[in-house]
Amino acid sequence: MTIGIFIMRLENLPSEFQEALPVLKKIKNAGFEAYFVGGSVRDALLERPIHDVDIASSSYPEETKHIFERTIDVGIEHGTVLVLEDNHEYEVTTFRTEDIYVDYRRPSHVTFVRSLKEDLKRRDFTINALALDETGNVIDLFEGLNDLKHQILRAVGTPSERFTEDALRIMRGFRFQATLGFALDKDTFNAMKMCAPLLEKISVERTFIEFDKLLTAFYWRKGLKSLIASGATDYLPDMRNHQSQLETLFNFQVDFQFTSSEQAWAALLMVLQVKNVKKFLKHWKTSNEFQKRVEQIVTIYTIRQTHFLNKEECYRFELDLMMQAEEIRQAQGLAVDFEKIHSTYDSLTIHDKHEIVVNGGLLIKEFDFKPSPALGQLLTEIEMAIVNGALDNRLEAILAFVEEKR
């Protein structure tokens, strides 16, 4: 059955689609419809790197499982079956419609259907509601191709309905803007603004992922500007009434790009003048390791506000984190010296205490010391003396140093 209008054709299917063609053809040969859908189609049309290739089909999950020899139930209640074919994995999801959403984040019930149109109309933005068949025909039922051409982000159907169904789509919209550099359709933006309070209903972990992708995207300024203008930041953890501080990020050099998530969040926390970095990031439910690295970038930046990093400070931090803090200074038009950081770090005779040729056990054996805070303090003195170049990291030299301290 022919559905919709084939507005255009991809003459040369990207390799990612070509590799997945056998899956589409097997489904079609079994008497069902099957299409590539979602972000992979959008990215192919924009000639951007393709990540996950998703397939939508009129076959119900059990029917899909009968077509292929190897499958895994990854989300069968939502219609998704993982197909293992030719050393690749593909998610095949049945066309579906969704009932009333619970808590503005998940449908109360999913109904499997045979209609591609019913499936596509539940998607978030028109540019993500495109389908591609096995011959390269692009199926566009919601003017997504026109929006791609004019670089516009527009919600499918009635915008407020899309954002009420799943409020995370608000953050996804700003993230897509930051990633693609597109403009937000006026009605879509107004609906995002109106529905922004619903973000409090969304799990912090899901919100973090979208905000993080926004900050580290190429057009982060564009996405952040819209996010602030919508008032949505008032409904994000610990960010209420901080629009003016957030806007100071726009004072960074125009072409500045964050090189890591940790760097982006460190800059964010600094402009927000957050005193307790770990507490703030705990509210965002980030990992302890992430909190530690962000806090260290903030600490390095703070040290650099008063003086250049000495040997002990270069020893204390990872070289990469020191460079990231220096990049933030550079983005703000402050004096930087990447070469000096490198040379100071490279001049260190050790970069980790485990490189020291003695340890507590050896000192206990050699000098009959007892395990105690005093022994720990002595080991630290040895460590810092080596770092500062006052002591060679040789057994004889360290033993003589300890003997002198007794």
Structural fold of domain 151-236: Hydrophobic Seed Protein (1.10.110)
229 within 8 A of 188, measured Cβ to Cβ: no
What 268-275 contacts at long range (C-beta under 8 Å, 24+ apart), as own/partner pairs, is 268/215, 269/294, 269/298, 270/298, 270/301, 270/328, 271/245, 271/246, 272/238, 272/239, 272/242, 272/245, 272/246, 273/245, 274/238
Q: Which two tokens stand for residue 103?
A: 């808590």
State the Cα–Cα distance between residues 392 and 386, nearest whole angstrom. 6
Q: Which two tokens stand for residue 155?
A: 């919600």
> pTM for the complete prediction?
0.90
State the Cα–Cα distance between residues 343 and 165, nearest whole angstrom. 55
Name residues of the chain where pLDDT drops below 70: 1-6, 98-109
Query: 350: closest CA among 358, 361, 362?
Result: 358
Q: Percent helix, strand, coil in the chain (nearest 5)?
A: 55, 15, 35
pLDDT at position 105 is 54
| All structural domains of the chain with their residue ranges | 1-147, 151-236, 241-348, 353-405
CATH 1.10.1740 assigned to domain 353-405? The reply is no
126 within 8 A of 7, measured Cβ to Cβ: no
Structural fold of domain 241-348: Methane Monooxygenase Hydroxylase; Chain G, domain 1 (1.20.58)
Question: What is the number of residues in the chain?
Answer: 406
State the Cα–Cα distance between residues 73 and 91, nearest whole angstrom. 10
Query: 166: closest CA among 128, 209, 123, 127?
Result: 123
Q: Going along 262-364, which residue ranges are E strands?
A: none
What 47-52 contacts at long range (C-beta under 8 Å, 24+ apart), as own/partner pairs, is 50/14, 50/16, 50/17, 52/91
Element (H, E) at 72: strand 71-75
**Secondary structure class of 91 (helix, strand, coil):** strand
**For 181-234, where are the alpha helices, taking DSSP H only?**
186-195, 204-215, 220-230
Amino acid at 231: G
What is residue 402's DSSP assignment? H
pLDDT at position 2 is 44
Q: Which two tokens stand for residue 59?
A: 């076959």
Class of domain 1-147: alpha beta
**For 216-287, where are the alpha helices, taking DSSP H only?**
220-230, 243-247, 261-271, 277-283
pLDDT at position 99 is 54
